[in-house]
Structure formats: C-alpha cells, structure tokens
Chains A and B, each alone.
Chain A
Amino acid sequence: MQKSPLLTRRELLKVGSGLSVGSLLPFSGLSASTLRTQAHIVIVGGGAAGMAMVNRLARRLRGGTITLVEPRETHHYQPGWTMVASGIWAAERTTRLNAQFLPRGVKWLRDYADSIDADSKRITLVSGETLEYDFLIVASGIQLNYHLIDGMTPALVGQHGIGSVYAGIEGASRTNQAIQTWLQSGHGRGIFTAAPTPVKCAGAPLKMTFTTLSRLEDTGRRDAFDVDYMAPGASLFSQPWVDEFIKQRFDSQGVNRRHHYRLSAIDPQAKQAEFAFVGPESEFTSHHQLREAEFRRDDQPTVIADYDFLHVVPPMSAHDFVKQSALIAQDGPFRGEWLDVDIHTLQHNRYPEVFGIGDVIGAPINKTAASVKAQAPVVEENLLAVMQGNALPASHSGYTSCPMITGIGKAMLVEFGYADNFAFMPSFPFIDPTEESWAVWVMKDRMLQPAYYAVLEGKA
C-alpha cells in the first residue's frame, strides 16, 4: 500500500485553527505547548500504555475529543504478578480502579474493540457501536494463546500441578498455591517453560524459576527436587551478557537446561507434558516469529515428560482484532502477529494517523512497563507533530528494563535498548547492571509500583 499524505487539507484546518491562539493566551491556564484541535483521538486499550497516553494527551490537547476503549474497571499492576506467584505479595496489592487514573474530559467506552477498518478510520466495538477517528493509538496489549498448547486452558492453572504467572492475577495466586503444594509434597520434578514467540515481560519465566529455586532451597531438601528449564531457542534472554549469566546461574543451581523445545501439549490428569523439538537450526527464540500455522507441524519429534509442577508460558501475539486488520505487519519478522510500526517513531508504517505503543507493537524487545515509560513521551510528541503537519521530532531508543530477580531478596537492574546488540543503558551510575543487589530488590519490592502509577498519570 502506498503511504498516504500525512493529512488532508481539511484535517490540517481542523487541528490548526486554534494552534497559535492557544499558546498566546497568557491567562488561559494552558501551557504554551498545548494544542487546540477539533480532532477525535481514539485510544484502544487502557493498560499501562493506553492510560499513560490518555493522561498525556488530556494535558496537551484542548478542544478535541479523546476516547478510551477499555472494558475493564480494574487496573492490574502486572509487573507485580511474579511477586504474587512467588508468594511474596498479596494479590490485592496489584489492583486499582481504572477510574482512579482517568483524567476528566475523557470519554471512556467500557467495551472491547471488535475490528478496525484502517482505510475508513473506523473502529467497531463488540456492542456494535462504531467509532470514527482522526487519530488512533493502538495500545491493546497482548493476547495469550494458551489454545496453541493442546490440552491447555487458563482454567487449569492451579490444578494438576500447573502454574502460569501470565494467567491474570487469579492465575498468579493459583500458581503460588500450585508451587506451595509441590513444595509440601517434599520431592518431584518441576518443569519451567518459555514461549516460542515474543512475550510480555520476557524475564518473568526466568524470575519464576529463580524465586521457586529460593523456595526449594528454603525447604532444606533441595536435592529432593528436580528442576528443568525448557527453552525453545538457544538463548534464555535477549540481552547477551544477562543471557550468559542466567545460563551459568542455572547450571550452578542445578537447573537442567534443555534448548530448542517448545511446550506442545499437556495431559493434566496424567501430569505429563509433551515437548516438540524444534531443532537447533530453527529461529524459535523469544525474539523471532512463530506464526500459528507453524504450531501444527507434524514433522517435529516430540518427547513426553512427567512433571509434578509445570510452569506454562503461553505463545503470545497481538489481539485477533488487530491481526485481522490492515494495521498488522505484512512482512518481516512480525508479519501477521504484531502491529506494524516504525520501532523508533512508533508511527504506523502505512497509516500515518495511527501510532502504536506497548506490548502490541512489532519490536525485537520492549514488551515491558518500563518500555511504556520511554515510549509514551515519544508517541505524545510525534502524534502532536503529525496533528500539526510537522516532521516527527522524537525517537524511541528501544529502552527497556527488567529487574531480574535472581532469588527472593536480590535482583539485577537490567536496562538496555536497541543499539549495539542490546547494550546496557543504565539509568543510575551507581547501580551496576551486572551485579546482584539488595537495593535493586527493594526497588522492585517497594518503588517500581509507585513509579508505574506515576507513568500512568503521565508524570514520569
């Protein structure tokens, strides 16, 4: 598809009429950087990314309409789910009401998006209501494709020794119970898996392994338990130094690493898991594509493993309504699965009035709340530039951050970006990203959640 002109003359007039006026009103109470507009901006998704954009745009725009499409009343602090699933936090600590973060003047539609017609600039909701937009921000997050593992459903989490930190806050709580049941049994085999697709918080499966190792060691009977980690690719983590560190640490803590296996099926009653060997030549790492059709290949050899505890990480993708729209990537590593944006400007590659932020975008890394913190100001500045017909001023470095928990009570602050093969980008000169630290653990335990809420409010 040809890239369409940025804006039509009518659209330029729509946003431009009040531009200079707004910034010349000394007693209007508006900052000089606000933009007068009549445009309708729709934000799909009210998670970390969507809520941050709602707040930022509500402050920057005057006269336009901002509509948020978000069905849930409750906002979940998802980075806290590993703490809940590890038995450290109570589940209640991770929830707030969405209304608490929503600024005045924003129209909130409590509904799911059903389809996007990007050519007509129209969104249809599940209720049948349609929305026409001038500008669209896709912040719809990620879809958990448990159905791509035969026999697996989220309802199984907490039963038959199955855990999954990704299965919502209830799933995280039930994962903790499943681990506790395994610990109380006094012996057995735990299998931790990773997904053959990009996943949100790619460190979470590793953190779950490390915190469970801490709990196993606390029983005083570590030798009675076997722990396996099944990785679909050669690497365990995208940042090369951290990848090597984790491999060494797993080896020294008695974790049996097996590479190039993906979880293909489970038999919950028999407590058996089937793994498909995808081969060392495959690109089935968490940073490469694996389309749905490839899950159905019959030529892959499989192995069956008995387990007493199984941590399931589902394959993930953009939501179906995004995948079925013209906004999905058409080629390249993210084709058919993720939103097609420029990974630096976060503008859609073919629809300039569309931006993407958060987990939904096709990017080699960046499915974390910390990435949202870095992406939100970029989307804000670039969207306002597009509304004014200007060149895009802001660029995203790919910054992402993972407080890599290496045991209950210690962590490493791993921050990195796109450049130089995911080189470290430390925020604090006094924190070494290669050192395990109590202070970093305290940040994870006490400070990152407040920082997250500041991001939601557009203040950080």
Chain B
Amino acid sequence: MSINGMLTILMYALAPFRWLLIMGLIIIIALHLLTYRRGYKITHHRSRLTNLLALLIGLTAILWIPWLTHSTLGYVATVFDWIALLGAAAATSVMAFIILHPLSYLISFQDKE
C-alpha cells in the first residue's frame, strides 16, 4: 500500500473524532502555554502524584480500551494483541502525563502564591 493510501485510511479513521482531537490539542497547547509563562519546564518540575496517576490511567486503559472497542480483555489473546494493547496503554499513560504534569505545576504554583 502506498504512503498516500495509508494517509487516506488514517484520515478516514480519524474523521469521526476530528473535533474531539482538535479540542484536545487546543486544550493541551493552551495548558502548556499558560504554565510555561509561569516558569514551568517539563524537566524541572517533579510530581510523584502525577507520575502515579499517569501510570494508573495507563494500567486501567488495559481494561477499558478493549471495552471501548466492543470487546473484552479476555479476547486479547495473541502476542500481537498484547503488543497493540500495551502500546495503546503506554500512549494513554504518556497523554495523561502531558496533561497532568503541567496541571500539577499550576496547582503548586497557585499554592505558593
């Protein structure tokens, strides 16, 4: 399949979630812009709670991602199934971190003020 073909498939696959994705992206960018203006740097800020929450969200994703796809964890059976599910769970964890980490900075920043 050509690159163009793959992009077309991806475009159609994401089309129903277009506005959701755009809104999510806007929120993340706005959040990061807001926190960066108040001195946030991803490498400097430490938050154990954020790390734990992001990890938990990723772990629970192993349960709710199959449910979102009209399936159950019991049907995740092949090696490829597990790689795909763990990859999706890891991506969910990263996304949770990207949102929660600047939020935790914002909360601690307000507490300091």
Chain A residues near B72 (CB-CB < 8 A)? 409
Most B CB within 10 A of own CB, among A438, A439, A442 = A438
Let me know if B8 and A459 touch, CB within 8 A.
yes
Contact of B70 among A408, A437, A439, A454 (CB under 8 A): A408
Minimum distance in angstroms from B7 CB to a CB of chain A? 8
How many interface residues does B have (CB within 8 Å)? 25
Residue ID in chain B nearest A83 by CB atoms: B70
Minimum distance in angstroms from B4 CB to a CB of chain A? 6
Which residues between 68 and 87 of chain B lie within 8 Å of chain A, taking CB atoms? 69-72, 75-81, 84-85
Interface pick from B10-18, B26-34, B47-55: B10-18
How many interface residues does A have (CB within 8 Å)? 26
- Given contact pairs A409-B75, A441-B75, A450-B12, A459 touches B66 in the complex (Cβ within 8 A): no
In this assembly, does A430 line the interface, its C-beta being within 8 Å of a C-beta of chain B? yes
In this assembly, does B107 line the interface, its C-beta being within 8 Å of a C-beta of chain A? no
Minimum distance in angstroms from B78 CB to a CB of chain A? 5
- Given contact pairs A408-B70, A441-B71, A445-B70, A435 touches B77 in the complex (Cβ within 8 A): yes
Let me know if B81 and A437 touch, CB within 8 A.
yes
Chain B residues near A449 (CB-CB < 8 A)? 12
- Given contact pairs A437-B78, A437-B80, A460-B1, A410 touches B12 in the complex (Cβ within 8 A): no
Chain B residues near A410 (CB-CB < 8 A)? 71, 75, 77
29 contacts between A and B (CB under 8 A): A407-B75, A409-B69, A409-B72, A410-B75, A410-B77, A430-B79, A430-B80, A431-B80, A432-B78, A438-B76, A438-B77, A438-B81, A439-B78, A439-B81, A441-B75, A442-B71, A445-B70, A446-B13, A446-B69, A447-B9, A450-B8, A450-B12, A450-B13, A451-B9, A453-B12, A454-B9, A457-B8, A460-B1, A460-B5
> Which chain A residues have a beta carbon within 8 Å of chain B's beta carbons?
88, 407-410, 430-432, 435-439, 441-442, 445-447, 449-451, 453-454, 457, 459-460
